[in-house]
Amino acid sequence: MFNTGKFVGKTVLITGASRGIGKEIALKLANDGANIVVAAKTATAHPKLPGTIYTAAEEIEKAGGKALPCIVDVRDEASVKASVDEAVKKFGGIDILVNNASAISLTDTESTEMKRYDLMHSINTRGTYLMTKTCLPYLKSGKNPHVLNISPPLLMEPRWFANHVAYTMAKYGMSMCVLGQHEEFKPHGIAVNALWPLTAIWTAAMEMLSDKGGEAGSRKPAIMADAAYAVLSKNSRDFTGNFLIDEDILKAEGVTDFERYACVPGAPLMPDFFIPSGTYDHKFSTGATFGKKKVAHEAGVIEEEIKQTFESAKRLLNGDIVKKTGFVYQFILKDPVTKSERFITLDLKNGDGEIIDNQSCHKPDVKFTLAPEHFAPLFSGKLRPTTALMTKKLKISGDMPGAMKLESLLRKFTEGKL
Sign, Cα dihedral of 232, 238, 244, 248? negative
- Burial status of residue 179 (CB atoms within 10 A of its CB: 0-12, 13-18, 19 or more): middle
First to last CA, the chain: 40
**What DSSP line would sit under 365-378, residue for residue?**
SEEEEE-GGGHHHH
With H, G, I as helix, E, B as strand and everything else as coil, classify residue 69.
strand
Residues forming the active site: 167
Share in percent of the chain as helix, strand, coil (round to 5): 45, 15, 40
CA dist., res. 418 & res. 410, Å (int): 9
CA atoms within 13 A on the CB side of 389: 23
CA dist., res. 196 & res. 96, Å (int): 18
Q: Which residues pair with 35 in a beta bridge?
A: 11, 66
CA dist., res. 203 & res. 41, Å (int): 17
Q: Which residues pair with 150 in a beta bridge?
A: 195
What angle separates helix 20-30 from helix 222-232, to the nearest 10 degrees? 50
Task: Choose among 48, 53, 46, 68: nearest CA to 16.
Answer: 53
CA dist., res. 11 & res. 52, Å (int): 20
The angle formed by the CA atoms of residues 189, 194 and 200, to the nearest 5 degrees, is: 155
